[in-house]
Structures are given as structure tokens and as C-alpha cells.
Chain A
């Protein structure tokens, strides 16, 4: 700013000189007036250094002081150029005010000094040029300097106040900026908190949606389970009769008999119907499990031949059994069912052959993993992985594969119950199942079953391996369904047993009370009107402690099972059963010394 003002002042000086005294005359001759040259060159000289310093060293004290000196010297020049007009003397006072824009009172010192020195020196050497008289007092310069100091005083006060106000404004501005910065920081912090809260909320919403979806799925399963359980009881009774009577009839017919083939067809259909019912109960987790402490490796090892036959020769079966595998508690028959269902699924996914890999391993699920997966608890698990190199599944298919009756297979090839059965068995066994699949690459099912510390129980000899053994013991048969009761009695009698027959619990109690001999076994239905099989056993066993109990049912409520798991030491045969299965089971229970109610 001062550089520009100095330049303007210089130009104004030239203009004033040219206007006031353009030329000097000597008679008829004239030439440019020395004042014009003085304004041009001396004014330029005065202005040059302050302009240069203002441009090259702005803000330096030396620049300000130089400008102050130059400004007062320019005042002296202007006074001369205007012929010492009193009005031009106001340039001195104007210049002091002009310099006060620096808000540096020290700038006034050199300016005042220049004015005072000018008057002092001229008063000393050329008093007439400044005072108009030859014999002015030697102290008269003080009068002039005094007026300058008079203005300096006010300018000093004004500068101090201005600086004070400037600092106050600067402080307020800085404080405002600091507050704004703090506010911005606070806003950013709150925004981050809101974002985090929003993310947490979204996560919770997602989890809630997942939980709701799972709850909906569970409710759906529960509804299907109730439906299945509701029909299973009656349906299995019917199947028991159909299959049992068919079986008995087949026994009595020669294979050459024209009726034999027809009965075989009936039995096949009955078996399929029984299988369907079992699966319905399985996926709805209403089936009765008889869990044992298992070594999964042994189960897999024992089923690999069946599996190989199941998947055919086009598919390589690779089995990788993890060393020192932990033990799990599960129903071995159901685990076999799981393996077979998954193997069948894999086979259908690889119509042109491929690889089916079954692996086991120990895994440790930590807290963090468990916290991110619904219904997963931290701890040791045994993982059973079944992988294929088949066609894979897209995400939509994956989200429905455990739904009952969902199938991608063509009509007639799949019931849609295979994977839902697997899911039900795994969940009923306290485990979890995950599926990983990529279209065109294959699918892996991973089943996590919790480890138990117990030793594996030796697998019992398969029922099929037991030689049919008849007996002569007395069996109290309790069954409210007459056709089932008749057929069961017939099977038992054919096996040599003496049968006491009761339609319900009260009658059974009466018969037991009246029967003088030993009753070796009570074969009772579980679900009966008035008195359940469990209640009957609890009342009767204390009276006949030698009597063993075998329950039979197509569907059980919580009378003898808890969450689908049969109480420890309890004997059970699932309806519908075949005559042979019943005979073997009865024999097995009679021979078992640990059987309990």
C-alpha cells in the first residue's frame, strides 16, 4: 500500500510542479522550470528507496522508518514546489497520520526528527527561508516541532488503542477459530459416533432380521414337525400294520406264489412310506435319537463301502480322516443317514463324474468366531466336511437348500427332504452345518459337532448281524391300536413268546396284578389315552422289578424323550417295524442286563 501511495505522491508532485510553475522566464526566453525537474528527479530519488524497500522488504522496521523519513522529506519538497504555501504545510500533519497506519508509534520518531531537524538547521543557517525574518530566535524551531509533537501525542494514543483493539480482535478471532475448530472437531466426533451407532444399529437390524428369519424358519420347522408328529403316530401305526402283516404274509408264502410279488410290491411301498415318515420326523427334529459317544472316523470307515456303492464308479471317493479326532455324541444311525444323504446329493451334482471328499478334523471355535455366528458356541468341535466337484449352487439356491421339499432335481428324483433331514439331525445333535459353494466348481458341507471327553462306545453288533433268536418269556403287550396290537402279538407268538395283551394302561395293571407268573418284558406303546406307556412303566416296574420295558412308538412326545433324545438306558423301537426287527429288539432287551424303565 505504501509503495503505491509513495508512487502516487511522486506523480502528484510532478503534476503540481508542472501546473504551478511549468516554465521559468528570462525576458522573452523561457525554459522548463527547475521545480519540474526537482519534482521529477528529486521526488523520484526520495520515493525510490522506500518504494524499493516496501516491495522487497515489506514488514521490516527499517522499511517503515525509511518510508517515514522519505514521507517527511517529500513534504519539504512539496512545500518548496508550491511556493511555501501554508496549505502545503498540512502535508506534514497528513503524513504523520498517514504513517500512523503502520500502527507503530516508533515510526513517528524519525518523521518528527526530520521535521524538527529541517526547521532547526534552516533556522540556524537560513532563518528567512522558514521564519521569513533574518533574526529569528534560535529556539523558534521548537514551536514548529511542538505542533508536530502535539499531533504525535494523539497519534500515539490512537496507535496504542488501535493496536490494542487489533490484538483484541485477533484474540477474539483466534478464539473464535479455536472454538470453531473445537466445534468442528466435536461435530466430527459426534458424526463418527453417530456413524458407529448407525453401523451398530444396522448390524443389530441385520442380526435381528437374521434371527427373525431363523425364528421364522424354526417356527416353520416346528409347524411342519407338529404336522409330521401329528400324523406320524397314526400313520406309523397304519404302516406297522401294513408292513408287518405284509411281512408275515410273505413269510408264509412261497416265492412261487402269485401273491408273493404283489405282497413284495406292497412291502416296498410301505417301506418307502415309512422312510418318508422318518425323514419328516428327522428334519422337524421329532425323531427319537439314541446318541452314543462316537469316533466319527470309525463311522465313516464303516460306511465307506456303502457310500462307494451309493455314488457309483464314476465318482472317486476320497476320505481324509483327521488324526486323534475328538469324540462326539450322536446317533450313529443318524450320522450314517447324514453321510448318505450328502453323498447322494453330491452324486446328483456330478452326473458326469468327479470327486467326493470326506474329511474330518478337530477345530477350536473361539469366542470371536462364535460371537459372529448365530447359535455357535465357543469350544472344541469335530468338523466333518463333505465336498464334491459338482455343478455348485448359486446364493439363492444355497439360501433354500435346507428348506423341506426344496429341490433342484427333476420331478420324481428327489423328495426335497434329504438336506433338511441332514439339517435336522445335525441341529438335533447340537451341531451346526455350513455350506460353501461356487457355481461350476463344487460344494462343501461342513458339519460341526461338539466334542465330548468320554471314550467312544464300542458299536453294538448290528441288528442284522444278530441271529434271530426266539424266546419263551412272557411279554406284556400294551397297545391301544387293535390292529397293531394284533399284529405285534402275532409276531411275538410266532417267535415263541407268551403274550399277555392289554388295550391300555389300566388293563395292563390289572393283568399284571392277576398274572401269577413272571412277566419278563413289557412291550408298550408310548402315546396312549388315559395313561402313557411311561406312566404305566413307572407304576408297574416297582411291582415287578424283574420286568424289562421296551417302548414302541411312531412318534413320541416328551414322555420318554427329552428334545428328541431318548433317556439313557431306555429301550425303544420305532414304528413301523418289521417282524424281524421287533423279534431282534425284544431279544436284545431281554438279554440286556442294564435295561431300565
Chain B
């Protein structure tokens, strides 16, 4: 005995009666509405992801009042991070990639903002630990955001690169979107600048949480002309 699969028993819609047509129409409308909602929601999410924060306009030369020690024989990278910004986790990850690609030719500081009045360990988050674990990276607490202000940074993840001579080489973010890991223009530019001395772009959009309160004066980028 040979069994065969009866055509349409599983695949076809069961009926073409009027009420079945109404059901199909309802289904079609439901799917359409659903797709609109979902696509709209995803678009909104993408919009949020792709909306950069306030970009810094750091000093064109290493600020003399900075408490950080600039590398005399190489480039120096400063990343300013809000310790509780989940978006900056991707930036830390990209920094690790940069450090790996630069093979010791780069000195990096990650400054974690600590507003006044918060507990001692407020800044010691997983971001701190992640950053501290990257070879060649030094982490510091930026009490009250003093260093951030010196470098005119306003968004977590803001990355600034100075050359050995103290000139500003790069400023921007090292993620392609908010909290998004992966290839991005900023990372490529830094790696290229450190390793080859030049890059296609010297500034990129930065994606992250604001470092300062919305009404803070620090949110407004310094109207200072970069000279790079």
C-alpha cells in the first residue's frame, strides 16, 4: 500500500466561504497593521540609536591644566565616560579593540565622571572594571567632571586623541550608534592615526548619555575652535 499526501490538506486555507473571506481580510488587515506598528517601532528605535549626543570641541592642544600626563613618545587617548551609561559599554569594547590594534603605541586614559555628593564607589561600575582590564589603559575618577570640562566633553564615550606633540588629532565617538558594537569610523580613524599617522576623518559623532545634567552649562559645547 502506498500512502500519498493529500493536496491542500495542510497548506491551503480551509474554506472559501464568505465568512472565511471576511476572516482572511481581517487577517490581512491585522498583519498589515502589525507590520506598520513593528516597523514603526523599530524605526523609532533605530532613530534613537542613531541620534548622536552633543559632540565635544576639545582644545586643539593638550590643556596645560590637565591633571593627566600626556605621553611624550606617542599618542595619548582620553575617553570620558559616565560610569552608569549603558551605551558606553560598547565604547569601552571598541577601546579594547583600538588598544589591541595599536600594540603599545598609544597611551589611554578613561576618565569616569563622578559628580559631587555621590558615594565613593558610585563610579566603580562594570564599565570601570572593563576599562581597567584593558592593557595600556588607565582609569581615573573625574571628580566633578573637571577633566571633562577641560576637554569640553559633554557626552559619555567622547574620545579624544592627542599626538606626541600635544596636538589634537581626533575627537568623536568610537561606536557607529548608541551602544552599538562593531566596525565604526571612529575606531578606524584612531587606529589609522596611531599606526599610520593619518586618517580619512578626524571627527565622528559620539553616541552616549550626557555627562552632565541637562540644564548644566557643561552640556553646551565650548565655542572653541579646533585647530586640527
Q: Interface on A for B, CB 8 Å cutoff?
A: 20-30, 33-35, 38, 41-42, 45-46, 48-49, 53, 57, 59-62, 66, 69-70, 73, 76-77, 80, 83-86, 122, 126, 128-129, 131-134, 167, 170-171, 174-175, 178
Contacts and interface: CB of A to CB of B under 8 A. Distances in A.
Interface stretch (B40-48, B61-69, B131-139, B220-228): B40-48
B208 to A, nearest CB: 9
A53 B26 CA distance: 12
B213 A27 contact: yes
A69 B31 CA distance: 10
Contacts of B212: 26-27
Given A24-B209, A77-B42, A167-B3, A62 B49 contact: no
B170 to A, nearest CB: 16
B86 A29 contact: no
Interface stretch (B99-107, B159-167, B182-190): B182-190
Given A133-B185, A170-B3, A84 B180 contact: yes
Contacts of B31: 49, 62, 66
Contacts of A77: 42, 45
Contacts of B11: 61
B74 interface: no
A33 B88 CA distance: 13
List of 3 A-B pairs having minimum Cβ-Cβ separation, nearest first = A132-B183, A21-B86, A27-B213
B42 A42 contact: yes
A38 B41 contact: yes
Given A27-B216, A133-B184, 8 more contacts: A21-B179, A24-B209, A46-B38, A49-B30, A77-B42, A84-B90, A86-B182, A132-B185
Interface string B82-123: 101111011000000000000000000000000100100000
Contact of B177 (A25, A30, A62, A129): A129
A81 to B, nearest CB: 9
Contacts of B84: 23, 25, 30
Contacts, number: 130
B50 A129 contact: yes
B115 A73 contact: no
A60 B11 CA distance: 7
A25 B209 contact: yes
Contact of A129 (B3, B180, B209): B180
B182 A38 contact: no
| Among A25, A59, A66, A84: residue with most chain B CB under 10 A | A25
Given A25-B82, A27-B216, A42-B45, A131 B183 contact: yes
B37 A45 contact: yes
| Among B5, B42, B185: residue with most chain A CB under 10 A | B42
Contacts of A48: 34
Contact of A85 (B34, B37, B181): B181
A69 B182 CA distance: 25
11 contacts: A25-B85, A26-B209, A29-B213, A38-B41, A42-B41, A57-B27, A62-B27, A69-B35, A83-B179, A129-B50, A178-B1
Given A49-B31, A76-B42, A26 B182 contact: no
Contact of A83 (B27, B45, B90): B90
Contacts of B177: 84, 128-129
B18 interface: no
Contacts of B183: 131-133
Interface in B1-60: 1-3, 5, 10-13, 27, 30-31, 34-35, 37-38, 41-42, 45-46, 48-50
Nearest to A79: B180
B182 A84 contact: yes
B176 interface: yes
B221 to A, nearest CB: 15
Nearest to B209: A25
B118 A28 contact: yes
A407 to B, nearest CB: 74
A45 B34 CA distance: 7
Nearest to B205: A128
Given A45-B37, A131-B183, A24 B42 contact: no
Contacts of B180: 80, 83-84, 129
A24 B88 CA distance: 11
A22 B209 CA distance: 13
Contacts of A171: 2-3
A103 B214 CA distance: 54
A134 B200 CA distance: 12
A256 to B, nearest CB: 112
Nearest to B213: A27
Contacts of B176: 84, 128-129, 132
A285 B10 CA distance: 86
Contacts of B86: 20-24, 33, 35, 83
A137 to B, nearest CB: 13
Given A86-B181, A132-B184, A80 B3 contact: no
Nearest to B181: A84
